[in-house]
Chains A and B, each alone.
Chain A
Amino acid sequence: DVVLTQTPPTLSATIGQSVSISCRSSQSLLHSNGNTYLHWLLQRPGQSPQLLIYLVSRLESGVPNRFSGSGSGTDFTLKISGVEAEDLGVYYCVQGTHAPWTFGGGTKLELK
């Protein structure tokens, strides 16, 4: 199975600070069809996950553009350019290139 390793596991930030979360895969997530099925989710406390970024870098409708995704192959990054209070929660990367689909262990974003 593909293992997604997220770092750091916990991230402390102040409002307005820019932060990055890394997601490294145990194998390339480039599908034979040319797509890379790596997505980012945010789970706020007590809520269901919500999609932020899909296919590495595409911003989901309604998601603020302070969120951005980048990467290729096995290394991926989610960047938040100017953390806001509503961004607190646990961030997950998820891959859908290789069965079984797998999630990263999560990165908890806290206020410093």
Chain B
Amino acid sequence: EVQLVESGGGLVQPGRSLKLSCAASGFTFSNYYMAWVRQAPKKGLEWVATISTSGSRTYYPDSVKGRFTISRDNAKSSLYLQMNSLKSEDTATYYCARLWSFWGPGTMVTVSS
């Protein structure tokens, strides 16, 4: 059974950093592109980042480019999202996704002083 479980969310002050993790199981992690998608409270979905199978290629929207970094460790079947210079508008539930078939339950990030 495919499982994706995010962790690392929490309350953080504006301007600080946070690193999210996603533990994958039930499939050959290294064979799939992976992504992070977020959802602000009571809002729609927003794509945040995608990474290729080897990790050599990464993609971001302008809203997070230069602040967020997606990475992966295929040996550990894990996906990461390093978030720097956090803003209040980054407050959201962050989902790890194996595009687009499988999603984790999400981890909440709240950016507030």
B-contacting residues of A (Cβ < 8 Å)?
A: 1, 39, 41, 43, 48-51, 54, 60, 92, 94, 96, 99-106
Interface residues in B6-57 by Cβ distance below 8 A to A read 37, 44-47, 50
Q: How many residues of B are in contact with the other chain, CB < 8 A?
A: 18
Interface centre among A49, A96, A104 (most CB of B within 10 A): A49
Across the two chains, which residue of chain A brings its CB closest to B104? A48
- Residue interface mask B83-113, A partner, CB < 8 A = 1: 0000000000001000111011110000000
**Pair count A-B, CB < 8 A:** 46
27 A-B pairs with C-beta separation under 8 A: A1-B61, A41-B100, A43-B45, A48-B95, A48-B105, A49-B95, A49-B100, A50-B103, A51-B101, A54-B100, A60-B101, A92-B44, A94-B47, A94-B100, A96-B99, A99-B59, A100-B47, A100-B61, A100-B62, A102-B47, A103-B44, A103-B46, A103-B47, A104-B44, A105-B44, A106-B44, A106-B45
Interface centre among B99, B100, B105 (most CB of A within 10 A): B100
Inter-chain CA distance A51–B99, complex, in Å, is 9
B47 contacts A101, C-beta separation under 8 Å: yes
B45 contacts A48, C-beta separation under 8 Å: no
B101 contacts A92, C-beta separation under 8 Å: no
B50 contacts A94, C-beta separation under 8 Å: no
